[in-house]
Amino acid sequence: MCLVFLLRDAPNGPEVLLGLKQRGFGTGRIVGVGGHVEPGESDPAAAVREAFEETGFRIDPADLADAGRVVFRFPADPASDMSVALYRATAWTGELTASDELDPQWFPVAAVPTSRMWDDSRIWLPHVLRGETIDADITYDATGSLVARVSLTVIPGW
């Protein structure tokens, strides 16, 4: 899995591109742009492909900045466990378009709607949006809706 956070300067401060998930795992939540890594595909290549498929934006792989990795664990549903590579990008081309999977929207970085996202986003996403690199291991509770345990290492940067 991979996620790429597209960041832009706006008149009222920096914004991040997130989207309302239309189908699949996480339907109805605001999520980052990204998805599955295909067999034989690198994480950066998947991030570039997923960004195009979900937003219409083309990102040059050289414009991806590594933001770390998060491992998600769902003890009640181990098949949903995943390791997610994280990237940031500030350059792309194309026109923003919705897909059948994601309805992308720009949000102020200072007001990311974490209450409409997975519970874990409030813990690690602010670090990534500040330009830090993270290594996180997040375990959800038995309901799969609340974070039960967190291991988070933050590396300042950007």
Q: What is the mean pLDDT of residues 59-81?
A: 94
Question: Which has the closest alpha carbon to 152: 33, 65, 64, 69?
Answer: 69
| Per-residue pLDDT reduced to its tens digit, 21-34 | 877 777 778 999 99
Q: What is the mean pLDDT of residues 121-140?
A: 93
Structure token pair of residue 125: 């996403």
The whole-number pLDDT of residue 124 equals 92
Q: 31 near 118, Cβ under 8 Å?
A: yes
Q: How confident is the model at residue 151 (pLDDT cuts 50, 70, 90)?
A: very high
Q: How confident is the model at residue 37 (pLDDT cuts 50, 70, 90)?
A: very high
Overall domain count for the chain: 1
The CA distance from 56 to 49, in Å, is 10
The whole-number pLDDT of residue 157 equals 60
Give how far Cα 125 sits from Cα of 46, 95, 131, Å. 20, 25, 10
- Considering the domain boundaries, does residue 32 fall inside one? yes
Question: Which has the closest alpha carbon to 140: 150, 130, 126?
Answer: 150
The whole-number pLDDT of residue 125 equals 94
Three-state DSSP class for residue 28: coil
- Considering the domain boundaries, does residue 74 fall inside one? no
The DSSP code for 76 is: T
Q: What is the pTM of this model?
A: 0.90
- Considering the domain boundaries, does residue 105 fall inside one? yes
- Considering the domain boundaries, does residue 158 fall inside one? no
- Considering the domain boundaries, does residue 10 fall inside one? yes
At 126, which CATH number? 3.90.79.10
- Considering the domain boundaries, does residue 38 fall inside one? yes
On the 0-12 / 13-18 / 19+ scale of CB atoms within 10 A, 74 is: middle
- Considering the domain boundaries, does residue 145 fall inside one? no
Q: Is the pLDDT of residue 158 over 60?
A: no
Domain region containing 92: 2-69+82-133
- Considering the domain boundaries, does residue 17 fall inside one? yes
